[in-house]
């Protein structure tokens, strides 16, 4: 055993996290599609040899919480130094089909130019580099691979179980050709996959550098950072009152019907552990809002991170005190071949909302009002291009501040596509992009406002919308008012939350996103329009 003093542990922790961050920068700079280079819809992390996450970049919550399942799936395939496994199967470590994950063994000292195919002299595998990126198209029945009316996963795109894309440092051309033959824009997909490979290779180089500097003390840090985070989270959980806290909400249809779909949760806090049980949630549905259990876990982990100290290093230790269960065959634990593409982006947001609502009594000083509760997915494409965007909205107000306006909330952490980049890359024109003023809920602290985005499609194309909070408003909390629900329009006419339409050149698509809920009773007229903070200064209006 190697003992690390607190200073050394902090240095090593930051160095490991910098490896994950550098992976992300390599991926973002090396990719081709605007969805990765501009919106940064990707995530990177480093795992130890046992498949435990030891460091992650601060990227996409729904990606990161589900990554351990992807590594577990690859560990079952006997990975070797120099290999890179690709996967996107939601039933074998993935989230939804557009999110393609690459998992690579980290074996510093491997000679990348060696032609030796034996493993007799292979260096030890110390861990795994993992990159996950949302590819703008992976085939299926509609451009962009997010069809609103999909009834099984085969309609959503190419399904990839864990398969060696790279073997002993050499790309398997036949595997790459098979993957690219099933997508609409293969050159873009090839470039994005190569960027992911480069990101994973960068991790191996950097871990090798750290190993040269620290030797066995680096390996000791793998265990130490996980233990440290677990102990910190357990200490935070002990501060919560024991009990079982319940909440319920609903999804607004599944793309096949508009019927509400119940989501129920019971959160049991017992000392330093939390058990989250989704018994009572609806059975899996015909449409595509089913969410694999890995996605539900990601949402729960995100909430736990939000109600505990943000300075705790994000790694496997944060998740070990938390268990998540959902009935087999349910909305949050579906059986194949269930359609799931909307579950990753929309149902994950509802899980976040309902777990926050359940914990509002246990941690009232840390739970915000309801945010927009949707990613507002907009997809436009044809045989030659696929544009994908998640549009920001209003964040819920906090116990001490207004909610931010025009931001991503919950399970996504992406940027918008800049208008200049969007119009340069696609046959689209942005006609309006503005805050939806007044859409945030009133309260002592106001909810943030949503956005309005209108895009004109300049060619015949297919438009898909996967959205939520069009009927059920984001909830206010502690007496705060609800935010305004969102609205979708095609050529000015309101359409359902989840649709796929064939449109002609000149069609406009408008997404008005929800505002966040308010926190606390609205001030009376005599108190003025805004709350004051503890120092008597006007509260930040976000």
Burial 299-309 (b: 16+ CB within 10 A, else e): bbbbbbbbbbe
For 382-480, where are the E strands, in sequence order?
Answer: 386-390, 428-436, 450-457, 461-466
pLDDT tens digits along 206-238: 999 999 999 999 999 999 999 999 999 999 999
pLDDT tens digits along 386-433: 999 999 999 999 999 999 999 999 999 899 999 999 999 999 999 999
**What average pLDDT does range 482-504 have in this prediction?**
98
Which residues neighbour 170 within 8 Å (Cβ) at sequence distance 6 or greater?
A: 82
Strands 450-457, 428-436: pairing is antiparallel
- Nearest to 22, CA basis, from 51, 56, 49: 56
Q: How confident is residue 537, by pLDDT bands cut at 50, 70 and 90? A: very low
Measured in Å, how far apart are the chain's first and last C-alpha atoms?
49
Judged against a pLDDT cut of 90, whether residue 63 lies above it is answered with no
Angle at 442 between CA 439 and CA 444, to 5 degrees: 145
Contact status, residue 65 vs residue 302, Cβ threshold 8 Å: yes
One DSSP character per residue, 7-45 reads HHHHHHHHHHHHHHHHHHHHHHHH--SHHHHTT--EEEE
- Nearest to 291, CA basis, from 343, 221, 239: 343
Identify the residue with better confidence: 3 or 506: 506
What is the model's pLDDT at position 120? 54
What is the model's pLDDT at position 541? 33
DSSP class of residue 397? P
Contacts 24+ apart (CB under 8 A), 164-167: 164/77, 164/83, 164/84, 164/85, 165/84, 165/85, 165/86, 165/102, 165/193, 165/197, 166/82, 166/83, 166/84, 166/104, 166/197, 167/80, 167/82, 167/83
Q: How confident is residue 527, by pLDDT bands cut at 50, 70 and 90? A: low
**What average pLDDT does range 187-204 have in this prediction?**
98
What is the model's pLDDT at position 441? 98
pLDDT tens digits along 292-340: 999 999 999 999 999 999 999 999 999 999 999 999 999 999 999 999 9
pTM above 0.75?
A: yes
């Amino acid at each position: 055993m190697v003992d690390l003093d607190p200073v050394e542990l902090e240095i090593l922790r930051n160095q490991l996290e910098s490896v994950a961050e550098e992976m992300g920068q390599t991926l973002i700079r090396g990719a081709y599609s605007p969805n990765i280079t501009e919106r940064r819809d990707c995530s990177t992390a480093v795992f130890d040899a046992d498949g435990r996450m030891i460091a992650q970049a601060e990227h996409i919550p729904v990606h990161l919480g589900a990554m351990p399942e992807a590594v577990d799936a690859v560990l079952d395939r006997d990975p070797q130094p120099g290999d890179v496994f690709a996967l996107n199967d939601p039933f074998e470590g993935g989230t939804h089909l557009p999110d393609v994950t690459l998992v690579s063994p980290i074996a510093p000292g491997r000679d990348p130019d060696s032609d030796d195919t034996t493993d007799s002299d292979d260096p030890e595998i110390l861990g795994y580099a993992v990159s996950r990126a949302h590819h703008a198209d992976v085939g299926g029945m509609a451009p962009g691979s997010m069809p609103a009316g999909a009834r099984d996963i085969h309609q959503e795109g190419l399904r990839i179980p864990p398969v060696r894309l790279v073997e002993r440092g050499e790309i398997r051309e036949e595997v790459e050709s098979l993957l690219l033959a099933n997508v609409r824009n293969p050159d873009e997909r090839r470039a994005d996959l190569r960027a992911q490979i480069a990101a994973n290779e960068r991790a191996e180089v950097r871990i090798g550098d750290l190993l040269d500097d620290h030797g066995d003390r680096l390996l000791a840090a793998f265990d130490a950072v996980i233990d440290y985070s677990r102990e910190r989270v357990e200490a935070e959980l002990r501060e919560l009152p024991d009990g079982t806290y319940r909440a319920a909400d609903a999804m607004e249809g599944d793309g096949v019907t508009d019927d509400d779909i119940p989501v129920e949760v019971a959160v049991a806090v017992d000392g330093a552990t939390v058990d989250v049980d989704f018994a009572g949630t609806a059975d899996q549905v015909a449409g595509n809002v089913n969410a694999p259990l890995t996605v539900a876990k990601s949402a729960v982990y995100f909430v736990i991170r939000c109600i505990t100290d943000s300075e705790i290093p994000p790694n496997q230790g944060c998740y070990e005190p938390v268990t998540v269960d959902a009935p087999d065959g349910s909305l949050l634990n579906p059986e194949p071949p269930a359609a799931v593409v909307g579950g990753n982006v929309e149902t994950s947001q509802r899980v976040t909302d309902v777990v926050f609502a359940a914990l509002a009594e246990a941690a009232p000083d840390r739970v915000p009002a309801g945010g927009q509760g949707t990613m507002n997915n907009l997809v436009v494409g044809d045989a030659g291009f696929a544009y994908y965007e998640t549009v920001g909205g209003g964040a819920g107000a906090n116990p001490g501040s207004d909610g931010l306006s025009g931001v991503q909330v919950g399970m996504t952490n992406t940027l918008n596509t800049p208008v200049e980049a969007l119009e340069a890359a696609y046959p689209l024109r942005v006609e309006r992009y503005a805050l939806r003023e007044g859409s945030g809920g009133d309260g002592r602290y106001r909810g943030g406002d949503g956005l309005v985005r209108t895009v004109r499609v300049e060619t015949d194309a297919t438009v898909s919308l996967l959205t939520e909070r069009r009927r059920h408003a984001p909830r206010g909390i502690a007496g705060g008012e609800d935010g305004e629900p969102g609205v979708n329009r095609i050529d000015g006419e309101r359409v359902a939350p989840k649709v796929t339409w064939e449109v002609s050149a000149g069609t406009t698509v408008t997404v008005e996103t929800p505002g966040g809920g308010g926190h606390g009773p609205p001030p009376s007229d005599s108190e003025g329009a805004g709350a004051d903070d503890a120092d008597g200064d006007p509260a930040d209006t976000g």
